[in-house]
Chains A and B, each alone.
Chain A
């Protein structure tokens, strides 16, 4: 308790602590552990379940793998389906992210740095896009893409995802680009740099932190997206991982262990990605929302 008091005064990292903490540390740790267990328990269950056999799962649904089997994972890793879907997901995710970032950066630069009549209107238009979730547009969107000959192609998923990703990204990038000092632009102009040159040479490098955050959010959104691929893709060779997981689990509904192995294999890339970028993801989300 006495150490708690001294912590409260020092507080190096800016986190506060009441000097008279009525909970005491052990309770705090206990609740935290419980919280973690609830949050990642099901995820761990899926991963561990992949190491078990169906007989093990039937006999004791909540038990540990005994013995540990890796045949389910090996089966997934050696199946064509998984890799095709993984590649599709990567293609869709990367192209969506690149598309959203490039287009948003361009239009955000215009909104943030050019003085013209319609800049506010443009900003409001994109900002209003936040209120139009894909659910509402999905039926006519499918018809539109079918008429364009893009149904059942990855482009049919990528293009709408880019369009629906623009509002969130522009909302984050415009204020970010506005913070680049005017003096910098003037100095660049004095050195004979055109506005476009300024955009390419200064704005793009300077906005990389903001771009990284929004890009990561877009990639994760695309990686997890379900409704749009469900509408657009009918050919299993075009499936992305979420559709693949669903197809696999309905085809192998009696083979629970394989379903769990397939599910965890499709989740692991996202988890690795999240672990690498978790600071940016968490920060970006709070930033986006607070804005």
Chain B
């Protein structure tokens, strides 16, 4: 009743000043949204569009590409795909994508199951496993590369317990494993927190019913937790894949620009920086950026189409209504 009165009053007021109000509304919308739009279009969209343009030139980055560079059509792209180093970088990226999923998913689920048990100090554990995620890549890289040196702490510990150390960073047979383990160490906390949140949104009644039917602990996890964790797992995998395709910091810091290709850990992004920025071939670097973008986009869209849209309904691109309530409740829970 109250509400209808209010809207009635409001509509009356509105009809009086409807023209002025409309004009004013438009002004408010512009004032509030234009700054963000300018920033976003100027520093996110525009550079990506320019990358596509620069990619057609052989250009050192001075002046404009048309006057100081040479238009070479798709020559940059031909060079990229015929460069064995780029192809091996792509291969490394895909090894990292698969390796991260295969290594992190089971570990994260097991640890989340563990932390979902009733125990003392769980909040502290949850905080501590998150520390590697918060510490910057540079620090992680610097610290780990010191520990992984052939005369470093890791080999010393191994020696003490009677194991043979290894050349973790520069041996091409081992380096990729080292990188995968470091990635797992750095990002597992994030995965565990996600899985835990997913597990805690599974209704307790399901477990109770199954227990009444005589299901054991592992049976409960296998037939209730795992299937219902599906949406969380799929979102996490999406983020992990995108992150793996863009991987740069850790590799660049630990392996540097040049060792990474001989050690077999170079990625598309380290290749881009080395061939673009470091050697001032801005046309070529932009073309590499476009290739990375297209590869990531294709992978992301394929994943979304075949795996994610089962439960996401395109939350990243359209129809945000379904996912909204979920995220509000998640944020509100914390408040």
Contacts and interface: CB of A to CB of B under 8 A. Distances in A.
A binds B: yes
Interface of A: 4, 7-8, 11, 14-23, 25, 28-29, 31-32, 35-36, 38-40, 42-43, 45-46, 49, 58, 60-62, 103-104, 106-107, 109-111, 114, 116, 120, 122-133, 135-144, 159-160, 162-164, 166-167, 170-172, 174-176, 178-179, 183, 186-187, 189-190, 195-196, 199, 209-210, 213, 220, 223-224, 226-227, 231, 241-243, 245-246, 249, 256, 259-260, 263, 266-267, 270-271, 274-275, 278-291
B118 A15 contact: yes
B156 A39 contact: no
A144 B47 CA distance: 7
B44 A164 contact: yes
Nearest to B155: A61
Interface residues on B, range: 35 or more
Q: 3 closest Cβ contacts across the A-B interface?
A: A291-B327, A283-B334, A224-B136
A137 B142 CA distance: 26
**What does DSSP make chain B's interface, helix, strand, loop or mixed?**
helix
A92 to B, nearest CB: 13
A229 B127 CA distance: 29
A270 B327 contact: no
B218 A227 contact: no
A7 B287 CA distance: 60
B36 A140 contact: no
Given A36-B128, A226-B138, A249-B142, A139 B48 contact: no
Interface of B: 3, 6-7, 9-10, 13, 25-26, 28-29, 32-33, 35-37, 39-40, 42-48, 50-51, 54, 61, 111, 114-119, 121-122, 125-132, 134-140, 142-144, 146-147, 151-157, 160, 185, 188-190, 193-194, 197, 200, 204, 207, 211, 216-218, 220, 232, 235-236, 239, 242, 246, 248-249, 253, 269, 272, 276-277, 282, 285-286, 289-290, 292-293, 296-297, 300, 315-318, 320, 323-328, 330-335
Contact of A289 (B114, B236, B333): B236
Given A140-B51, A183-B3, 7 more contacts: A128-B317, A133-B246, A135-B272, A136-B290, A226-B249, A274-B130, A282-B193
Contacts of B326: 290-291
Contacts of B154: 62
A183 B6 contact: yes
